[in-house]
Structure 1
Amino acid sequence: MAKKIGVTMEVGNDGVAVITISNPPVNSLASQIISGLKEKFQDANQRSDVKAIVLTGNGGRFSGGFDINVFQQVHKTGDISLMPEVSVDLVCNLMEDSRKPLVAAVEGLALGGGLELAMACHARVAAPKAQLGLPELTLGIIPGFGGTQRLPRLIGLEKGTDMILLSKSISSEEGQKLGLIDALVPPGDLLTTSRKWALDIACGRKPFLRSLHRTDKIGSLSEARAILMKARQLAKRIAPNMPQHHACIEVIEDGIIHGGYSGVLKEAEVFKQLVLSDTAKALVHVFFAQRATSKVPKVTDVGLKPRPMKKVAVIGGGLMGSGIATALLLSNIRVVLKEINSEYLLKGIKSVEANLKGLVSRGKLTQDKASKAFSLLKGVLDYSEFKDVDMVIEAVIENIQLKQKIFKEIEEVCPPNCILASNTSTIDLNVIGEKTNSKDRIVGAHFFSPAHLMTLLEIVRTENTSAQVILDLMALGKAIKKVPVVVGNCIGFAVNRTFFPYSQAAHMLVNLGVDLFRVDSVITSFGLPLGPFQLGDLAGHGIGIAVKDIYDKAYGDRMFSSPLTELLLKSGRNGKINGRGYYIYEKGSKPKPDSSVLSVVEESRKLTNIMPGGKPISVSDKEIVEMILFPVVNEACRVLDEGVVIRASDLDVASVLGMSFPSYRGGLLFWADTVGPKYIYERLKRLSETYGGFFKPSRYLEERATKGMLLVKSLNFSFQFVMWQENTVFNQIYRQIY
């Protein structure tokens, strides 16, 4: 039975009209809902038997905000008229300027446009633990229903501006302390209290307050300008390449100088401009791309149900193993952590404890929750606790023989339905599991470090992995607040394989005479948080040496061989691990370029001997970006051609979450489409003629370029904006930014 979508109004004997939004699951403000709200508010304002109005949402949720699917339609057509007129026609004229008092009864969530509707009401009554926020900036836009004007007037300019710029959500409890919520009542009393409050306003027993007209929390003009100057500095730091943050501050300032209504008009104008911006198109694409990852043909569409994962064993308590264990514990999953001796086991347990303490110290976790999570951990030196585990995740060093031995052993001691997963990042899963008879339950669970913080989870399937196992791991990934992306089995899987040319191209540029610190600077200016050389320092250069032979064997026809990393290690530089790499690392200070490393670079250049005529090449910043990132796009095309990922947009999500590719560029392939496949193909072709096979365009890229086709197909899924804490892509993005 289809769930009814629309807006209803019921008028009680007390003269209160209760207007209810119904658009499951989060009551998003689709065009149909907005039209319904206009109709019901007009009706309520005209009816003589209505003394006051209460606005609420069906199903225990007020509203999750404006229907994001409309943005997608606007981006496809370029037709801004598809955006309904809301901020003046509905919010100002029919709601805030209504002669009849209006109270918002808020439960569950009021996000984006939902909170903006609530702020236009003359009072707000909420149930406990309701979630309140304006997350619009994560989509490249600003609040469009008056939020930039009303929130600062309700909770103060500094707090309101920070809440919008940081896309921060708060609880109704905090909202009451700040003045956003007028009363907090149990869910069962919400409507009764809201009705009474509305009647009290109508009778003059409570004040009739219009948020847009308030100035008591704004302060003087000089105070406001000082606060906004601070906000501009924050915006410059957290979002240097995104327009919406600075635009938002300008709109807030307009309202302070010229009045709230002027600010609303300015907001509407800027909102429409930003909706069509490249940034908004990119961020909306990332939003839909993340949602699309949850749809896996022949897995999520065949009627299977995920099995509960109550107890998981993790083998290996190193950096990855302890991080994986932490992620599981934080979601109340019992964890058995196995190591080979007491010393390593104690280190692993202490690492988990340190991870939890770190979250507590940063205010991300309460001490009570950390203690509860830690109590779910049990350390072991044998397989005695494996007899009832639902899944095993192997996270030991990249050694084929060791992994084969472990999988043979766990097959014998674990239940017959237990999932056997490996966190390997380079080794073929078929090789790992070749000595077992359980190939249908072997799967890759590739976490990214630090595993308890990074939100990407690559689920690697072989031709034998069962659909049930994939579905189970997808469900587990979501339960531990990861974004699972299902990929095929190959060396490097999707992310590491796609990005292996990244560091190789950087090494080629340096051996061609380009300054390595300039390369890092150009790439960070493009939007990645770290350039390739600082990233190598962070990972540790021993890792690059360890996997070099594996990648050489798999992709030798397009590898660039450079002695630079080996020379670096010989000179005692292993990056952040020992305090020296390309940069110097000192506790409490930012990495500093180490000019003494240039002698190592010179030695590499002599051995490589690829500088034309022995002289450094001259390249622009744009050419540096192209020479480093176009080979990455090229490898991504091979990944698509081989069917390693289900859809191109999966690589966009993986690139944002796994490699911190700038979200405001839409992910790797979305960005490539904005540049143009034809341009990338032609540029790579010219580079390959000059510098060899490393740049040779792939067959897939050539085909798309010559046919004038894009790399990423349009996503046609329909979604409602979800609760902020579930919006994991943007949680990850904003954690990286801030």
Structure 2
Amino acid sequence: MDRRRVKESTVMEVGPDGVAIITIINPPVNSLSFDVLHSLKESFDQASQRDDVKAIVVTGAKGKFSGGFDISAFGGHQETKELQKPGFLSVEIITDTIEASRKPTVAAIDGLALGGGLELAMACSARLSTSNAQLGLPELQLGIIPGFGGTQRLPRLVGLSKALEMMLNSKPVKGREAFSLGLVDGVVSPDELLNTARQWTLDILNHRRPWVVSLYRNDKIEPLGEAREILKFARSRAQKEAPNLKHPLVCIDVIEEGIVSGPRAGLWKEAEASEELSHSDTSKSLIHIFFAKRGTSKVPGVTDIGLVPRHVKKVAIIGGGLMGSGIATALILSNYSVILKEVNEQLLDAGVKRIKSNLQNRVNEGEIAEENFEKAVSLLKGSLDYESLKDVDMVIEIGERTKSHDRIVGAHFFSLAHVTPLLEIVRTKQTSPQVIVDLLDISKKIKKTPVVIGNCTGFAVNRMFFPYTQAGLLLVERGADVYQIDEAITKFGMPMGPFRLADLVGFGVAVATGTQFIRNFPERTYKSMLIPLLQEDKRTGEATHKGFYLYDDKRKASVDPELKNFIEKARSISGVSIDPKLVKLQETDIIEMILFPVVNEACRILDEGIAVKADDLDISAVMGMGFPP
């Protein structure tokens, strides 16, 4: 077998059957750097020129086809010659070299075929994959669009509606679904993948299978009028779901260009749009968040000293209320055995029912199979005494009785605990690195993003955002409008403004937590009388249908004209007067006056060493409070 290596990033082997196997080698996920792409082109050029090569198989080393373009290259790509010629990589390499090859090409996909990896595969004459391979175009979550022809080829392979769903939601599909959609032409076991792909290329060569050029397929694209209606619906939905984001609309425009003006025109529009978006603030921010999220599990002095996580199988949870049952659900969903400890039979039954209901909801949503429900429930045991906890590996919600303070660590989940993605791991000065490593491992298994922080009032998220509502109250008592503030903040990208959030959380919780911050940070807290006055009137937020807003039976919020009376009374008690400048605040002023105090508090948390790095606080804000990434 002839084996040639091109620039260390691809290897070409030509077998006695005349099939060249080109393997992408760029650990850990065979990402497509500029070097890899040029190396691929060289390999294809060689294969096309060699008389002993009849057909080509493209695959990736070590069970991964390709995880896509290396986004770490985005930051420094402005100077590269490729981008002085828009579309060079996409059109010249993917389309005019790989797809235009005079020899049939089959992509043999195992592991990952994401982003540029899938776009490369779609340019081949056919695709084979394993059943568990993941195929998708997740570029939009990085503020860019597919830039190697994905906007043109995916709709032609799976239809317009499914292609829009996969791109706009950054949602990959597994091999079996990819086959049913027509994205791949066959599903093969990993052991047989390469041999089957070799034979498939020869079958195409000998006209036993069709030779399909994806870019020019049109059998799955709807007639123009119908296609435009689908695109119109996608646009309105994208604007509703992410009103601040431009790139989903650009993606839809590029897809439409290919349908209206032909795929070649679509490719050039895609290339130009990709370059422009890769320089945008949105893309820079989302790429920052991507790397920051990956970095939260790296903690200096903890994860870099060679410790291995211990095996945790059984976890005890003290208390089965809303939070305890949510934590139990998250653990059970990841196959941990859970003992739920309660003080009496009635509370225990209620806790077990909550957990079963949470699991049933996951079945209803299709996240766990019906046949796995009983198995999940069997992992749960209830208990009324501490004796049953003697052989557990970890206990959640206890610690003051133990003398082993090196084993105590905080695990701060957010409600709903089995749904929200963030987990604050709170270490004391005595917590051992081993315990933190253990909890980092558990957080990964229960699909949470962990942030390791020190102990302080409110930990990271709640401490960062305590000025959020306080700044709002200060502005309102001095003349700003409650509803204008909430509207400006939601327009900025937060899930809800400070007053709608206070209603959702409930005033009881708001006052209890606010009191803690007033006690601990008296020099920078604002004591407003507005919430206590609302409480006196039996208004405690959304649960009572009255707070800063009025709520109907479906908990839909509406403006309350009576609110101004409470604000006026709060002003008179506090002895403050209206500031004319605050009555007519611009949106940008509102955003800065509400959120700059949050930024300042984050800086204090960092300065005090509560957080290890600024990136961790960015992730805490995004995943804990829904701050726009």
TM-score bracket, shorter-length normalisation: over 0.9
Q: Which residue of 2 aligns with 1:211?
A: 214
Sequence identity (%) = 54
Pairwise CA distance, 1:258 = 1.2
- Partner residue of 2:177 out of 159, 167, 174: 174
Q: Does 1:99 align with 2:91?
A: no
Partner of 2:235: 232
CA RMSD of aligned residues (A): 2.0
The CA deviation string for residues 555-609 of structure 1, in whole angstroms up to 9 with x for no partner, is 0111100112212222112222233222233344632233333332332222223
CA deviation profile, 1:647-696 (whole Å, cap 9, x unmatched): 11111111000111001xxxxxxxxxxxxxxxxxxxxxxxxxxxxxxxxx
In the other structure, the counterpart of 2:3 is: none
Partner secondary structure for residue 399 of structure 2: helix
Cα 1:391/1:81, change in 2 over 3 Å: farther
- Within a 5 Å distance, the mapping from 1:394-409 to structure 2 comes to 394=397, 406-409=398-401
Partner SS state of residue 577, structure 1: helix
1:98-247 equivalences in 2 (<5 Å): 98-247=101-250
Measured in 2, the distance between the counterparts of 1:197 and 1:339 equals 61
Pairwise CA distance, 1:360: 2.3
Aligned to 1:586: 552
**CA distance in structure 2 between the partners assigned to 1:234 and 1:592 by the alignment:** 23
Residue of structure 2 in register with 1:438 after alignment: 404
Residue number in structure 2 paired with 1:38: 41
Shift of 1:451: 0.8
SS in 1 for 2:450: strand
- Residues 615/662 of structure 1: CA separation in 2 closer, same or farther (3 Å cut): closer
Report deviation, 1:263.
0.7
Aligned to 1:572: 538
The offset of 1:80, in angstroms, is 5.2
Amino acid at match of 2:367: K
Cα distance in 2, alignment partners of residues 79 and 43 from structure 1: 21
Q: Report 1:359-370 matches (<5 A).
A: 359-370=362-373
In structure 2, do the counterparts of structure 1 residues 597 and 348 end up closer, same or farther at CA, with 3 Å as the change threshold?
farther
Shift of 1:506: 0.7
Cα distance between partner residues in 2 of 1:77 and 1:486: 38
Instruction: Give the AA of the match of 2:55.
Output: A
5 Å-filtered alignment, 1:691-710, equals none
| Cα separation, partners in 2 of 1:645 and 1:252, compared to 1, 3 Å | same
Partner Cα distance (1:445, 1:613) in 2: 44
Structure 1, residues 245-298: CA drift from partner, whole Å, max 9, x if none?
Answer: 000011001111111111111101100000000100000000111122121111
Aligned pair partner of 2:339 in 336, 341, 345: 336
Instruction: Confirm or deny: 8 A CA contact 2:82 2:88 kept in the other structure.
Output: no
CA contact (8 A) 1:17 1:50 kept: yes
In the TM superposition, residue 634 of structure 1 has moved relative to its aligned partner by: 1.1
Q: Quick check: 1:31–1:84 contact (8 Å CA) kept in 2?
A: no
Contact kept? 1:491, 1:497, Cα under 8 Å: yes
User: What is the SS of the residue equivalent to 2:382?
Assistant: strand
The CA distance in 1 between the partners of 2:197 and 2:563, in whole Å, is 68
What displacement does 1:522 show? 0.7
Query: d(CA) in 2 for partners of 1:29 and 1:78?
Result: 17
Query: Which AA in structure 2 matches 1:632?
Result: V
| 1:61 corresponds to 2:64 | yes
The DSSP-based 3-state class of the residue aligned with 1:28 is coil
Point out the more displaced range, 446-455 or 539-548: 539-548
Match of 1:595, SS state, is coil
| Separation (CA, whole Å) in 1 of partners of 2:82 and 2:263 | 28
CA distance in 2, matches of 1:154, 1:8: 29
Q: 1:500 to 1:169 in 2, by over 3 A?
A: same
- Structure 2 residue aligned with 1:546: 512
Question: Where do residues 223-622 of structure 1 align in structure 2 (5 Å cutoff)?
Answer: 223-394=226-397, 406-409=398-401, 411=402, 437-588=403-554, 590-612=556-578, 617-622=583-588
Q: CA deviation at 1:616?
A: 6.4
User: 1:625 Cα shift?
Assistant: 0.9
- Residues 393 and 78 of structure 1: CA distance in aligned 2, closer, same or farther (over 3 Å): farther
Moved more, 40-49 or 585-594: 585-594
Match of 2:4 in 1: none
How far apart are residue 507 of structure 1 and its match?
Answer: 0.7
Residues 76 and 570 (structure 1 numbering): CA distance in 2 closer, same or farther, change over 3 Å? farther
**Contact kept? 2:479, 2:579, Cα under 8 Å:** no
The Cα shift of 1:359 comes to 2.1
Counterpart code for 1:56: T
Q: 1:643 to 1:490 in 2, by over 3 A?
A: same
Shift of 1:72: 2.8
Greater CA drift, 69-78 or 335-344: 69-78
Against the structure 1 CA distance between its residues 226 and 470, is the aligned structure 2 distance closer, same or farther, given a 3 Å change threshold?
same
C-alpha distance in structure 2 between counterparts of 1:597 and 1:451, whole Å: 33
Do the aligned partners of residues 79 and 656 (structure 1) sit closer, same or farther apart at CA in structure 2, a change above 3 Å counting? farther
**Is the partner of 1:451 in helix, strand or coil?**
coil
Would the aligned equivalents of 1:22 and 1:58 in 2 still touch at CA under 8 Å? yes
Distance 2:591 2:352 in 1: 42
- 2:594 aligned partner: 628
User: Any idea what SS the aligned residue of 2:196 has?
Assistant: helix
The SS at the match of 1:322 is helix
Shift of 1:631: 0.8
The structural deviation recorded for 1:130 is: 1.1
Shift of 1:374: 2.0
Separation in structure 2 between the aligned mates of residue 615 and residue 188 of structure 1, nearest angstrom: 72
| Structure 2 SS opposite 1:335 | strand
Query: How many Å separate the matches in 2 of 1:94 and 1:79?
Result: 16
Change (3 A) 1:191 1:324: same
> Which residue identity does 2:430 align to in structure 1?
N
For the 8 Å contact 2:545–2:555, the answer to whether it is kept is no
**TM-aligned CA distance change 1:79 to 1:260, over 3 Å:** closer
Q: Match for 1:407: what amino acid? A: G
Specify the SS of the correspondent of 2:543.
Answer: coil
| Whole-angstrom CA distance in 2 between matches of 1:110 and 1:152 | 17
Distance 1:586 1:90, change over 3 A: same
Contact 2:86 2:271 in 1 (8 A): no
CA offset digits 1:453-508 (Å, max 9, x no partner) = 11111111111111111111111111111111111111111111111000100111
Q: 1:553/1:74 Cα in 2 relative to 1: closer, same or farther (>3 Å)? A: farther
Gaps of 5+ in 1: 395-405, 412-436, 664-738
C-alpha distance in structure 1 between counterparts of 2:438 and 2:168, whole Å: 37
**What is the CA–CA distance in structure 1 between the aligned matches of 2:394 and 2:336, rounded to whole Å?**
11
Instruction: Tell me the number of residue pairs that the alignment of Structure 1 and Structure 2 aligns.
Output: 623
Q: Which SS does the other structure have where 1:388 is aligned?
A: coil
* Partners of 2:479 and 2:580 within 8 A in 1: no
Q: Deviations over 1:698-737 (max 9, x none)?
A: xxxxxxxxxxxxxxxxxxxxxxxxxxxxxxxxxxxxxxxx
TM-aligned CA distance change 1:234 to 1:541, over 3 Å: same
2: CA distance, partners of 1:259 / 1:360: 43
Q: Which runs of 5+ in 2 are unaligned?
A: 1-6
Deviation of 1:330 after TM superposition, in Å, equals 0.7
1:79-116 alpha-carbon deviations (Å, 9 max, x no partner): 95699942112111111111100011111121101100
Residue pair 1:118, 1:124 contacting (<8 A) in 2 also? yes
